[in-house]
Structure 1
């Protein structure tokens, strides 16, 4: 797992990698965050939760990052779940046509329960 950075940290919960993202996701931070999402989605059968709850701001580069992580997980027979509760972020996902694709959940526990 990559070392924590200002905008992301990764950890394991019941064998699932959680990538917790903080602060801002934009062109200036997406590279640091991508190190975490790439590491999480690298293994075959990767099970990943991306937690956006601590994110204050995101732009279209965040959507690209999420789509890339999901594609990488699926290509390796894994899956990615998204935890996202901020109304503004949910509206962005919906406007981009990604809310059905990601089906955001409210908590890490909700994602773990869906895993079963």
Structure 2
């Protein structure tokens, strides 16, 4: 497993490789200001053909509709390019928001990073 430093310009995103996948670890409060910082990095990583991405939400403290838009954007971009996207989420309020909005049906959250990385490809949010 290799680890890259936080991308320039954002304290809300850490990117690293783990088991052949790119893990995007979101940190802190994911609101409109954080989303503006994250989008260029998200687009660069999700714009690659066949990208294998895991978005890890375990380290967030706040997640609003801007965060939902980030997830939807990432899913759309990855799937349009033949890749796969997985999600890790354990925070009860964030899980509730994902369920209420229906995003959890499109991008089922895993309870741990290991679970997401070991998940069979057929259940990786490619609905």
Name the TM-score, length of structure 1 as normaliser: 0.93
Whole-angstrom distance in 1 between the partners of 2:46 and 2:33 = 22
Could you tell which deviates more after superposition, 31-40 or 102-111? 31-40
| Equivalent residue number for residue 81 of structure 1 | 86
Aligned pairs, number: 116
Pairwise CA RMSD of aligned residues?
Answer: 1.6
Aligned-residue offset at 1:3? 1.8
Alignment map for 1:27-38 (pairs within 5 Å): 27-38=32-43
Deviation at 1:35, TM superposition (A): 2.5
For structure 1, the residue ranges without an aligned partner over 5 or more in a row are none
**Which range moved further: 20-29 or 34-43?**
34-43
- The runs of at least 4 consecutive aligned structure 1 residues that moved more than 4 Å come to none
Greater strand proportion: 2
The residue number in structure 2 matching 1:57 is: 62
Report Cα offsets for 1:47-95 as digits up to 9, x if no partner. 0000000000010011011000000000100011000000000000011
Matches of 1:115 and 1:13 in 2, distance apart? Answer: 16
1:14 to 11, 19, 31: 19
Matched, 1:3 2:4: no
Q: Does 2:101 correspond to 1:96?
A: yes
